C-alpha cells in the first residue's frame, strides 16, 4: 500500500488528517466571507441600491432564471418599484429602468468606447465571432466587413432571395387550402428566415421549408439551445464538458442537434471551397451581393478582414451565429404579426386594402421593399409586432471601459456593466398607453422620439414581404387554431423570449 494510503489509515495520523480538512474548509469559508464582504461593502457597486442577497451572490439571479424558469426580468421590474430606477441586480451589474438613459448607455463607437457585457454568450460557445467579441476595437474590426451586406442598400440586393423563399412558403400554403391541415406558423417562419439567411451566407443547400412540417427540429433546436443558456451561465464548464461528448452520441441523445451540425458542415465546405477559388476569376462586383458571391465569398475575397480572422473555424462559427441571430428574432416577430392579423380582422382588412395594388402580379412580380416600406399601415403593424415581441427579454448590458456614466445623482464607475431591458421600455404606459394592447394606430400619429427604435433592415424587408404575400387578396386561406397570446407570448426570458411552458405553439388551420 502506498505511503499516502498508509497515512490516511494510520490512527496516529487521524488528528493531522482532520486538521488538514478543517484548514481547507476554513480557508474556503474565509475566502467566501471575504468575497461577500468585498461585494457588500468594498466594491464600487456597494453604494447602489438593491437587495443585499443579489449583491452578495449570483445564486439570487440563478434562482429566478434556472429554478423558476427565466423570470428574473420580472423580479428586477418589481425590485425597481421598491428601490428606484437604478438597481444592482447581481454582484457585478446594474440595471436602469428609465428610457431617458437609453441614449447614454447605447452609444455608437464614434461617441465613446463601449463594450457588450453579454456574459450569457459564453453559454452559446460562439468562440471568436463578432457577436461574442467583447473588446470594442476587435468587435468593430470583425463586424465592419459584414455591415454592407445587411445595410439598406445591401438588403435591396437580397430581395430575389427573399422572394424565392416567400414564394416557396406561399405555394406550400396554397397547397394546404381546404385540406383541414393544422400547421405550426412559428415553425414555418423559423424555416423561412433560416432558409433566407442560409442562402445569403453560404448559398445552396437543403431548404427547411421543403420539410413536410417545416422542419420542427430546426425550430426546436434553437429553442433548446436558448433553454440551456441559464444553466450554462451558472455552470460554464457544462459547455466544455459537452465538447468531449462525441458528435454521434450528442445527436443520439438530442437528434435535432443534427440540424446545426449539418449547417456547420455545409458552411465549412463552402468556406474551404471558396478559399480555393481564384478571386481574379470571380465577379465580386458589389452589385452581385446576394447572388452567387454569398456573404462568405464576399468576406473571404473582398472584405478587409485580417488573414487571422479568415480562419475557417472562426468563419464557420460566424456562419452559425448569423444563422441563429438572423432567424430566431425575425421569425418570432413575423409570427406575432401573423397572429394579430388573424386575431383582429379589422387590422387584417386594413392591411389587405393597403397592399392590394402591390401584389396584383405576384408571383410574376414581387413587391419591392422600397414599395412596401412606404405602406404606412403595414409598417405600423410590423413596428407594433416588434414592440410586443421585444427582441429579447434580457437586459442587454454595456460597459463604458474608460469613462464614468452619470445617471442623475449616481456616478457609474468605468468598467461597470449597466443594462436596460426592452421589455420595460416597450411596456411603459407613459410612452405606450395600454401597452399590452396590439394597436398599430399608435405608430400612425404623434410618434414621439421615445418611441423610435433602431430596426434591422433585413428583418423589416423579410417581414414586410411575407405579410404582403400571405395576406394578399386571393392568398391562402387559414385561421388561428387553438392559439392564444401565451403561445406566441413573451413570458420567460431565455435571452430569446419563450411562451408558456408546454404550449403547442402558434397553430393555424387551412379549412
Helix 312-343 with 294-301: angle, nearest 10 deg: 140
Q: Is 333 in the site for ligand HEM (CB under 6 A)?
A: yes
Residue 247's alpha-carbon distances to 88, 224, 225, in angstroms, are 40, 17, 16
**Is the CB of 5 or the CB of 111 nearer to ligand HEM?**
111
**Cα-to-chain-centroid distance, residue 9:** 56
Selected binder of ligand HEM within 61, 116, 220, 439 (CB under 6 A): 116
C-alpha 59/C-alpha 93 separation (Å) is 14
Q: Is 309 in the site for ligand HEM (CB under 6 A)?
A: no
Selected binder of ligand HEM within 396, 431, 451, 491 (CB under 6 A): 396
Selected binder of ligand HEM within 90, 329, 379, 483 (CB under 6 A): 329
**Sign of the dihedral through C-alpha 232, 184, 265, 159:** negative
**Is the CB of 329 or the CB of 464 nearer to ligand HEM?**
329
Q: Is 104 in the site for ligand HEM (CB under 6 A)?
A: no
DSSP 273: H
Backbone φ and ψ of 501, nearest 5°: -65, 135
Q: Is 377 in the site for ligand HEM (CB under 6 A)?
A: no
Rg (CA), the chain: 26
Query: What is the nearest approach in angstroms of ligand HEM to the Cβ of residue 391?
Result: 3
Q: Is 493 in the site for ligand HEM (CB under 6 A)?
A: no
Question: Near ligand HEM by CB under 6 A, which window of 86-94, 175-183, 324-332, 403-411?
Answer: 324-332
Residue 457's alpha-carbon distances to 89, 158, 290, 463, in angstroms, are 33, 11, 15, 10
> What number of other Cβ atoms are within 10 A of residue 453's Cβ?
13
Window 135 to 164, contacts with ligand HEM (CB under 6 A)? 143, 150
C-alpha 298/C-alpha 292 separation (Å) is 10
CB 403 within 8 A of CB 414: yes
Selected binder of ligand HEM within 43, 215, 392, 490 (CB under 6 A): 392
Question: Near ligand HEM by CB under 6 A, which window of 47-55, 211-219, 243-251, 453-461?
Answer: 453-461
Q: Is 102 in the site for ligand HEM (CB under 6 A)?
A: no
Q: Is 379 in the site for ligand HEM (CB under 6 A)?
A: no
**Is the CB of 65 or the CB of 115 nearer to ligand HEM?**
115
Q: Is 131 in the site for ligand HEM (CB under 6 A)?
A: yes
Query: What is the nearest approach in angstroms of ligand HEM to the Cβ of residue 413?
Result: 21
C-alpha 132/C-alpha 117 separation (Å) is 9
Q: Is 330 in the site for ligand HEM (CB under 6 A)?
A: yes
Ramachandran region, residue 391 (left: φ > 0; alpha: ψ -120 to 50; beta: rest): left
C-alpha 403/C-alpha 132 separation (Å) is 22
**Is the CB of 48 or the CB of 120 nearer to ligand HEM?**
120
Residue count at the site for ligand HEM (CB under 6 A)?
19
**Is the CB of 124 or the CB of 351 nearer to ligand HEM?**
124
Question: Near ligand HEM by CB under 6 A, which window of 7-15, 228-236, 323-331, 356-364?
Answer: 323-331
Helix or strand run (H / E) with residue 419: strand 418-419
Helix or strand run (H / E) with residue 385: helix 376-389
Query: What is the nearest approach in angstroms of ligand HEM to the Cβ of residue 415?
Result: 18
Which residue is closest to ligand HEM by CB? 326
C-alpha cell at 291: 447572388
C-alpha 207/C-alpha 215 separation (Å) is 9
C-alpha 433/C-alpha 436 separation (Å) is 9
Q: Is 391 in the site for ligand HEM (CB under 6 A)?
A: yes
Q: Is 456 in the site for ligand HEM (CB under 6 A)?
A: yes
* Contacting residues toward ligand HEM, per CB under 6 A: 116, 118, 130-131, 143, 150, 322, 325-326, 329-330, 333, 386, 391-392, 396, 456, 458-459
Amino acid at each position: 500500500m502506498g505511503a499516502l494510503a498508509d497515512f490516511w489509515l494510520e490512527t496516529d495520523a487521524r488528528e493531522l488528517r482532520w486538521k488538514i480538512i478543517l484548514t481547507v474548509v476554513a480557508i474556503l469559508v474565509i475566502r467566501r466571507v471575504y468575497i461577500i464582504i468585498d461585494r457588500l461593502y468594498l466594491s464600487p457597486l456597494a453604494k447602489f441600491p438593491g437587495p443585499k442577497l443579489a449583491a452578495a451572490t449570483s445564486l439570487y439571479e440563478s434562482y429566478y432564471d434556472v429554478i423558476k424558469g427565466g423570470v428574473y426580468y420580472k423580479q428586477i421590474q418589481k425590485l425597481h418599484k421598491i428601490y428606484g430606477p437604478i438597481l444592482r441586480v447581481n454582484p457585478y451589474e446594474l440595471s436602469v429602468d428609465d428610457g431617458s438613459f437609453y441614449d447614454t448607455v447605447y452609444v455608437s463607437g464614434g461617441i465613446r468606447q463601449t463594450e457588450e457585457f453579454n456574459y450569457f454568450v459564453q453559454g452559446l460557445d460562439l468562440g471568436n465571432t463578432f457577436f461574442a467579441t467583447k473588446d470594442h476595437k476587435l468587435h468593430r474590426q470583425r463586424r465592419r466587413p459584414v455591415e454592407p451586406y445587411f445595410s439598406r442598400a445591401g438588403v435591396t440586393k437580397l430581395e430575389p432571395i427573399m422572394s424565392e423563399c416567400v414564394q416557396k412558403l406561399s405555394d406550400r400554403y396554397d397547397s394546404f387550402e381546404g385540406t383541414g391541415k393544422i400547421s405550426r406558423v412559428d415553425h414555418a417562419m423559423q424555416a423561412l428566415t433560416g432558409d433566407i439567411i442560409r442562402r445569403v451566407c453560404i448559398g445552396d443547400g437543403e431548404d427547411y421549408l421543403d420539410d413536410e412540417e417545416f422542419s420542427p427540429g430546426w425550430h426546436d433546436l434553437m429553442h433548446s439551445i436558448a433553454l440551456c443558456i441559464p444553466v450554462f451561465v451558472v455552470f460554464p464548464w457544462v459547455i466544455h464538458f459537452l465538447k468531449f461528448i462525441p458528435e454521434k452520441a450528442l445527436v443520439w441523445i438530442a437528434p435535432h442537434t443534427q440540424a446545426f451540425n449539418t449547417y456547420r458542415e455545409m458552411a465549412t465546405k463552402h468556406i474551404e471551397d471558396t478559399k480555393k477559388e481564384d478571386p481574379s476569376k470571380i465577379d465580386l462586383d458589389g452589385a452581385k451581393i446576394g447572388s452567387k458571391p454569398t456573404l462568405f465569398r464576399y468576406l473571404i475575397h473582398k472584405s478587409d478582414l485580417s488573414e487571422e480572422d479568415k480562419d475557417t473555424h472562426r468563419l464557420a462559427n460566424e456562419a452559425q451565429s448569423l444563422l441563429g441571430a438572423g432567424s430566431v428574432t425575425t421569425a418570432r416577430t413575423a409570427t406575432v404579426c401573423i397572429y394579430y392579423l388573424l386575431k383582429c380582422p379589422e387590422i387584417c382588412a386594413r392591411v389587405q386594402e393597403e397592399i392590394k395594388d402591390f401584389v396584383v402580379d405576384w408571383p410574376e412580380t414581387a413587391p419591392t421593399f422600397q414599395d412596401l416600406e412606404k405602406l404606412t399601415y403595414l409598417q405600423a403593424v410590423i413596428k407594433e409586432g416588434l414592440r410586443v415581441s421585444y427582441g429579447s427579454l434580457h437586459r442587454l448590458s454595456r460597459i463604458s471601459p474608460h469613462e464614468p456614466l452619470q445617471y442623475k445623482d449616481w456616478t457609474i464607475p468605468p468598467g461597470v456593466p449597466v443594462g436596460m431591458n426592452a421589455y420595460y421600455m416597450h411596456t411603459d404606459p407613459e410612452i405606450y398607453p395600454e401597452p399590452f394592447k396590439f394597436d398599430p394606430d399608435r405608430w400612425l400619429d404623434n410618434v414621439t422620439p421615445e418611441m423610435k427604435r433602431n430596426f434591422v433592415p433585413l428583418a423589416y424587408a423579410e417581414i414586410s414581404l411575407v405579410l404582403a404575400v400571405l395576406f394578399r387578396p386571393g392568398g391562402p386561406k387559414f385561421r388561428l387554431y387553438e392559439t392564444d397570446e401565451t403561445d406566441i407570448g413573451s413570458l420567460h426570458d431565455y435571452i430569446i423570449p419563450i411562451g408558456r411552458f408546454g404550449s403547442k405553439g402558434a397553430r393555424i388551420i387551412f379549412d
